[in-house]
Amino acid sequence: MKVLLASAFGPYGVDDEYGQASCRMELFHNQVTREQGVFSIRMFHPSFGLHFLAENISPPTTVLDFPSEARFVEELRNGYDVVGISFIVPNFLRAKRMGELVRHHAPHAKIVLGGHGTPVPEVEEIPNDGVCKGEGVRWLRTFLGEDPERPIRHPILSDSFGGRILGVPVVDRAGHITPGLGCPNACFFCLTSSFFDHKYIPYLATGKEMFDVCVAIENALGFRKFYVMDENFLAHPERAYELADLMEKHGKNYRFSVFSSAENITRVGVDFLVRLGVISLWFGVESKIETFTKNRGVDFASLVRDLRNRGILVLTSGILFLDQHDRQNLWDDIRFMVGLEPDLMQFMQLGPAPFTPIYRRYKASGRIMENAPYAGWHGQGQIWFRHPEFSPEESERLLIEAFRYDYDTFGPSLIRMCDTIVRGYQNLNGSANGFIARRRESLRRRAVKFRPFLAAARYHAHNPAARELVERVTAEYRDAFGSMTVRELALSQVVRAYAAREARRVASGRNVYQPHTIVTRYRM
């Protein structure tokens, strides 16, 4: 038996019969820095779930990530018995086409479907022999006739590829870790929580298990920085405490980018996060007019300030077009969230996706627009439900204005990140704890890497606020590290050349990068 696991085919971020230009493949450029022009942070992330599946089944398996339609057909001709197709809601038509291609080019193969697109009511329109809704490893093992409960093996994965900053190709040497799936908070809008039945499914239940995966990735790939894909990592503080203890015991200066809710961040405290090696945090502010349980009693302004002062990059997210939003308080929410001054700001439209409580409520009341194609159900184009105050066209325009307001008010996220890093370097000075001293040294190394970008940024600052930010942060770096070295000056000229080319590219409207196809063979 041979298994093929594939993500939806490209190209992505273009208007065609299968998708929309507003649904880009790049997480940051699509949802966070999308209106920041040459300063937008660019990178791609592999389809982590497919690698988890491949690592945890027995047959020879190929993971085909970011294929073209032709490349998918070419791979089908290698004679697979099972073909798995993973897709999200906006890629429904791509998945349907892929199912048809399997039936035509590999008619003997069984088709299985997975991913966050499977809850759509029309999923059975895609040719298939099985649909996984929920945790996939145990489901696929059962489908293949294997023991679903045998231990889970964590794959050895790099987190991203194709990174660019100011047009400069960069390699972000980070490993990927998925400690678990799902979240019991059950926010009414959250597809991830609903997809896993509002439960947490641990893959790495203890700090020791997570530490062992960190060591394995370091030994295999040399990475000491990790992107932790867990909806609410700090909701299990005992795991984080044990991990920190083991890192100190073994002298491992690992660093982590994590997701967490604000309540759990405040519970463990900023000092612990520094000790743990957290270098960036993503948490949902969501809205000030609707207080979610996870955010009750949280002083967001102090939290963001404290984190940034300790060198921890902050990415906050907010939801636009809640039922309570009107033309006045929508902008009150936008100004509030931007006014927290995070390094990065994600705005998402409220997106009632199948499986979620809000979808069921809107569907029952007739508020879902039946003629809205799934290709637009991604939260960065137009809303696909009837809002009492805003039309779909207005929602798209206001979303862009929100991103522009953040960029125009506080400047490029890249420079804010430089500011946070140098702040942390200066504020951690004087610690008698040798482990914290190593954290400070990590901040120094990151600051040195960013400095040539900072020097080049002044030439592309788009308004007085951005220019003032660049000048202020440049002065902070000079105070902390002295004058630029000859090497740094030379590198800044290289960055200027790349940035000038990228700026011309952005100005011409050619601002879509496509990920290259990645083929990974397991046990082949």
- What pLDDT score does 431 carry? 72
What residues have CB less than 8 Å from 174, skipping those under 6 apart?
158, 159, 160, 223, 225, 226, 227, 257
| CATH 1.20.120 describes domain 3-37+45-153 | no
CA atoms within 13 A of residue 259's CA, in its CB half-sphere: 15
Q: Is residue 435 very low, low, confident or very high in pLDDT (cuts 50, 70, 90)?
A: confident
* CA torsion through residues 223, 229, 235, 239, sign: negative
* Alpha-carbon gap, residue 421 to 476, rounded angstroms: 11
- Please give, one letter per residue, the 3-state secondary structure of 470-520: HHHHHHHHHHHHCCCCHHHHHHHHHHHHHHHHHHHHHHCCCCCCCCCCEEE
Q: Is residue 171 very low, low, confident or very high in pLDDT (cuts 50, 70, 90)?
A: confident
The larger pLDDT score, comparing residue 483 to residue 293, is at 483
Element (H, E) at 347: strand 344-349
pLDDT tens figures, 104-138: 999 999 999 999 999 999 999 999 999 999 999 99
Task: Please answer whether residues 75 and 521 qualify as being in contact, where contact means their C-beta atoms are separated by less than 8 angstroms.
Answer: no
pLDDT tens figures, 460-503: 999 999 999 999 999 999 999 999 999 999 999 999 999 999 99
Dump the DSSP string for 273-288.
Answer: HHHHTEEEEEEEEE-S
- What pLDDT score does 296 carry? 87
Instruction: Please report, to the nearest 10 degrees, the dihedral formed by the alpha carbons of residues 158, 164, 170, 172 taken in order.
Output: -30
What average pLDDT does this structure show over 15-37?
Answer: 94
Please check the confidence at residue 432 and state whether its pLDDT lies above 80. no
* CA torsion through residues 10, 93, 65, 27, sign: positive
- What pLDDT score does 175 carry? 97
Task: Please answer whether residues 102 and 83 qualify as being in contact, where contact means their C-beta atoms are separated by less than 8 angstroms.
Answer: yes
- What pLDDT score does 352 carry? 96
SS3 469: helix
pLDDT tens figures, 219-261: 999 999 999 999 999 999 999 999 999 999 999 999 999 999 9
* CA torsion through residues 500, 506, 508, 514, sign: positive
Domains 3-37+45-153 and 173-365 belong to one CATH topology: no
- For the chain, what is the mean pLDDT? 95
pLDDT tens figures, 317-376: 999 999 999 999 999 999 999 999 999 999 999 999 999 999 999 999 999 999 999 999
Percent of the chain with pLDDT over 90: 92
Phi and psi at residue 55, in whole multiples of 5°?
-70, -25
Please check the confidence at residue 167 and state whether its pLDDT lies above 80. yes
- What pLDDT score does 434 carry? 81
Using only C-alpha atoms, what is the Rg of the chain?
A: 23
The pTM of the full predicted model, rounded to 2 decimals, is 0.95
- What pLDDT score does 450 carry? 94
Of 188-192, 267-271, 408-412, the poorest mean pLDDT is in 188-192
Task: Please answer whether residues 420 and 314 qualify as being in contact, where contact means their C-beta atoms are separated by less than 8 angstroms.
Answer: yes
- What pLDDT score does 455 carry? 85
The larger pLDDT score, comparing residue 395 to residue 292, is at 395
Closest C-alpha among 404, 522, 400, 409 to residue 52: 522
Cα–Cα distances in angstroms (integers) from residue 335 to residues 30, 279, 308, in the given order: 21, 26, 19
- What pLDDT score does 172 carry? 79
**Beta bridge pairs of residue 104:** none
Percent of the chain with pLDDT over 70: 100
Please check the confidence at residue 430 and state whether its pLDDT lies above 80. no
The residues spanned by each domain of the chain are 3-37+45-153, 173-365, 417-507
Please check the confidence at residue 4 and state whether its pLDDT lies above 90. yes
- Relative orientation angle of helices 48-55 and 136-143, to the nearest 10 degrees: 50
Element (H, E) at 98: helix 92-105
SS3 315: strand
Task: Please answer whether residues 36 and 502 qualify as being in contact, where contact means their C-beta atoms are separated by less than 8 angstroms.
Answer: no
Closest C-alpha among 279, 342, 282, 275 to residue 311: 279
Please check the confidence at residue 380 and state whether its pLDDT lies above 90. yes
* Alpha-carbon gap, residue 310 to 322, rounded angstroms: 33
Of the CATH numbers 3.20.20.70, 3.90.700.10, 3.40.50.970, 3.90.180.10, which one belongs to the domain with range 173-365?
3.20.20.70
- What pLDDT score does 306 carry? 97
